Amino acid sequence: KASVMGGENIDNEEATELLEKSMAKSALEKLQEDRKSLPIYPYRDQLLQAIEDHQILVIVGETGSGKTTQIPQYLHEVGYTKRGKIGCTQPRRVAAMSVAARVSQEMGVKLGHEVGYSIRFEDCTSEKTVLKYMTDGMLLREFLGEPDLESYSVVMVDEAHERTLSTDILFGLVKDIARFRPDLKLLISSATLDAEKFSDYFDSAPIFKFPGRRYPVEIHYTKAPEADYLDAAIVTVLQIHVTQELGDILVFFTGQEEIETAEEIIKHRIRGLGTKIAELIICPIYANLPTELQAKIFEATPEGARKVVLATNIAETSLTIDGIKYVIDPGFCKMKSYNPRTGMESLLIAPVSKASANQRAGRAGRTGPGKCFRLYTAYNYYNDMEDNTIPEIQRTNLANVVLSLKSLGIHDLINFDFMDPPPSEALLKALELLFALSALNKLGELTKVGRRMAEFPLDPMLSKAIVASDNYKCSDEMISIAAMLSIGNSIFYRPKDKQVHADNARMNFHTGNVGDHIALLKVYDSWKETNYSTQWCYENYIQVRSMKRARDIRDQLEGLLERVEIELTSNASDLEPIKKAITSGFFPNSARLQKNGSYRTVKHPQTVHIHPSSGLAQILPRWVIYHELVLTTKEYMRQVTELKPEWLVEIAPHYYQLKDVEDSGMKKKPRAEEGQGL
Ligand code: ADP
Ligand code: MG
């Protein structure tokens, strides 16, 4: 099997056990009652009949009506699991985990036994698992080990309207296997009403639509555009809390950082409001939120109090929170954008589509009439916002997907059955990049390097850095760096009242201006030296939880090294080989310093800057290589390491010529020379 298998998730097991003990039988009965009150319940038999009668069925029902939690259970109840597992895909990890937890409660079983979930780097399933919730990306990886999904009797591609890259690719793959596996049932479920498109794509599959329960939602717009939507959102929360009748609030933010900032400010301002105000319970929810805190958003709000849920897009359709009466929609989300001409991808904060805005508003009307406060003008809504979000496949780097498809033996990508084809330049760019990384040969066939890379559930550039670390005898260090990079930017924390201490602690790892990648390695190694001490993390303003996750990911990457027969080798005393290994994967991301302190990317010249959180932000080395670009106020490079320009020509002679790195490379600025550890 190609998927990354870990052990059972202990935290969740313990949590379930505790829950079981504390849950009297009557609670289970209550859950069964709840199930019967869901909008989908009256359609149970009709739905099962339709599934029996048709191999492929498109299912449409309002968010919160019970599609995700109920349909797999119904199928289990009538015996589908005797023939194989039921797999249900979700675009988001948090949704997969949370829904699996809920279903295991409803069935009165331990999470990870009959009901489990599988997300990247975390497998909470066992031999017993028959209902498997997973990210769409994980099912995609399962194809690598089980091309006909033999162990499944039903595959439900849920949240199809989200049109994530993995979901779109899954469409093509499941449509194909359905032809030669007549026993496989395929369900495509969506919360939006434009199901015809899905039906058309799946050879006119019938559509099963059932009505949801929806109460009216009053929409309010701002009179003038808001200059600062974060502040406007916070002010609106407090205004609702002070002036509007009780009922929970849901606010949509773009990411963890915004949510944390908002949480702090709200807490602070609430204190200023005195004691006469009702209690306000703040519940954040985003992808990296620790599991046990995720459950908090579903807890009933105590009598007389109000809950405010600060959420990312996850609460738009993936998770239903009961009792929301007020929605605040600033109108933005984090979005990947990709320039197929330059091959550059970056994350940016972009306006949502009308479809998204309407879903968001709908969250206020699930259990009673509600209100939605849009922090943009009506003019904005009607004239500026797109009708629908552009499918991810049309605005992303496709290298990862192309590598996966190639390893599935699908060579003719131009004629792959895409629901909406990606721009052909994007496909070409992906092929070019994979060729540059030596994952494909000139004929577009997978090479040995490519086959090894495909085993890693990572972006091709990072996989390549790992595969290349074999040559530089530093695979041990490289997988630590890869694991740390996979955690994202939640390793360091910076409490408002101790920012200076936190920054000093962080800069300790940057001694010698080693660059961000090596600093991450130092963090990991230092933690390991203390025998994974929690105390050490506290002292260094490092998130223990993130570190544990990094350790877990690292263990899995170590297992994968063995699979692809790369020896674990270490070369800690010399940083150059490590930097060269990184360069072997990330050479397309090179940039050169300009006179004004900004950088210019080498291959497709574009102005970029070192992110202020980088250890090199004040150093400004002449040449750097970066992990990713993030667009906020400027185009920032995040995770940056200094580079010697001649490495580019040495490592990627097919990509860089001497002229690309001439003129400046050899006459280094004096200050870039001191203590660079190069
Ligand atoms: P749909 O998939 O149609 O949007 P779901 O099956 O996710 O609907 O949700 C059905 C019901 O289950 C909702 O009322 C929701 O509040 C509840 N629910 C779902 N997940 C959880 C959870 N983790 N904890 C508590 N309730 C949940
Ligand atoms: Mg759902």
- pLDDT 10s digits, 430-452: 999 999 999 999 999 999 999 99
Residue 421 alpha carbon to ligand 2 centre in Å: 26
**pLDDT at position 343, please?**
74
Q: Which ligand approaches the C-alpha of residue 67 most closely?
A: 1
Between CA 478 and CA 582 the distance in angstroms is 8
**pLDDT at position 630, please?**
87
For residue 381, give the DSSP letter.
I
To the question of pTM greater than 0.95 for the whole model, the response is no
Between CA 513 and CA 669 the distance in angstroms is 15
CB 69 within 8 A of CB 102: yes
Between CA 288 and CA 122 the distance in angstroms is 13
Ligand 1 pocket mutation, candidates 69, 89, 213, 250, criterion most atoms within 8 A of CB: 69
Enumerate helices (H) and strands (E) in the chain, giving the number of each.
Answer: 27, 21
Q: Which residues line ligand 1 (CB under 6 A)?
A: 38, 61, 63-70, 98-99, 101-102, 298, 320, 322
Residue 256 alpha carbon to ligand 1 centre in Å: 23
Q: Among 632, 586, 584, 587, which residue's Cα sits nearest to residue 608?
A: 632
Pull the structure tokens for residue 446. 């997978």
**pLDDT at position 21, please?**
60
CB 131 within 8 A of CB 114: yes
For residue 389, give the DSSP letter.
P
Torsion (CA) 489, 491, 497, 498 in degrees, nearest 10: -130
DSSP-assigned letters across all residues of 468-505: HHTTTT-HHHHHHHHHHHHT-S-SB---GGGHHHHHHH
Which atom of ligand 1 sits closest to the CA of residue 318?
4
CB 321 within 8 A of CB 309: yes
CB 237 within 8 A of CB 295: no
Strands 306-311 and 248-252: parallel
Low-confidence ranges of the chain (pLDDT < 50): 1-10, 665-678
**pLDDT at position 671, please?**
45
Q: Among 274, 256, 276, which residue's Cα sits nearest to residue 264?
A: 256
Which amino acid appears at position 515 of this protein?
G
**pLDDT at position 4, please?**
38
**pLDDT at position 24, please?**
55
**pLDDT at position 27, please?**
82
213 burial level (CB within 10 Å; 0-12, 13-18, 19+)? middle
ipTM exceeding the 0.95 mark: yes
Residue 558 alpha carbon to ligand 2 centre in Å: 35
Residue 474 alpha carbon to ligand 1 centre in Å: 46
Nearest CA to ligand 1 atom 27: 102
Residue 658 alpha carbon to ligand 2 centre in Å: 54
With H, G, I as helix, E, B as strand and everything else as coil, classify residue 130.
coil
Ligand 1 pocket mutation, candidates 30, 32, 115, 320, criterion most atoms within 8 A of CB: 320
